[in-house]
């Protein structure tokens, strides 16, 4: 049976979960994800796990935080004045906001604290610092 190799375009289903079993993403109920292996379209550990798989094969892989979205970086926590955020923006803890860095790059920010005068925003990826488990099923090599 043919096995996937770097450079192949593949279709696969996945379920991503944390150590406590919380599912953070899944292709269940959707079309399988289509990627070209070795091109950086998915995190490296998933890409590497798909190499060598045959259509119909299933595999589970755990990817350490450092190999996934990296460690949490405290320097990515930013306290801003509440007045710097437009009044129509809902700033509840856990809310995801979008902003721009000084170079104009888009940032996804999570509200982690709200005080009377300030709001603390976290620019870390929401999965930073987490080991990730992926259950994979290779559907097709295109």
Q: What is the largest CA-CA distance in the chain?
A: 63
Q: 74-122 architecture in CATH?
A: Beta Barrel (2.40)
Rounded to a whole number, what is the distance in angstroms from the first to the last CA of the chain?
A: 14
Equal CATH topology for 9-69+128-141 and 74-122: no
Query: What confidence category does residue 27 fall into, taking pLDDT thresholds of 50, 70 and 90?
Result: very high
Q: In this predicted structure, what is the pLDDT of residue 107?
A: 86
Q: What is the dihedral of CA 63, 69, 71, 72, to 10 degrees?
A: -140
Q: How confident is the model at residue 15 (pLDDT cuts 50, 70, 90)?
A: very high
Q: For residue 39, give both structure tokens.
A: 């091109």
Q: Which CATH architecture has domain 9-69+128-141?
A: Roll (3.10)
What are the residue ranges spanned by the domains of the chain? 9-69+128-141, 74-122
Q: Quick check: pTM over 0.85? A: no
Contact 93, 112 (CB under 8 A): yes
pLDDT digit string, tens, across residues 55-89: 999 999 999 999 999 999 999 999 999 998 888 98
């Amino acid at each position: 049976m043919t096995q996937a190799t770097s450079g192949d375009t593949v279709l696969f289903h996945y379920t991503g979960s944390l150590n406590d079993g919380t599912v953070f993403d899944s292709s269940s109920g959707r079309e399988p994800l289509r990627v070209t292996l070795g091109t950086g379209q998915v995190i490296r550990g998933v890409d590497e796990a798909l190499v060598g798989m045959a259509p119909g094969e299933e595999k589970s892989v755990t990817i350490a935080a450092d190999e996934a979205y990296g460690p949490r970086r405290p320097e990515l926590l930013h306290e801003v004045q509440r007045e710097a955020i437009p009044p129509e923006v809902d700033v509840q803890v856990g809310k995801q906001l979008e902003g721009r860095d000084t170079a104009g790059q888009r940032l996804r920010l999570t509200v982690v604290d709200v005080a009377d005068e300030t709001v603390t925003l976290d620019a870390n990826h929401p999965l930073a610092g987490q080991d990730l488990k992926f259950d994979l099923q290779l559907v097709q090599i295109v």
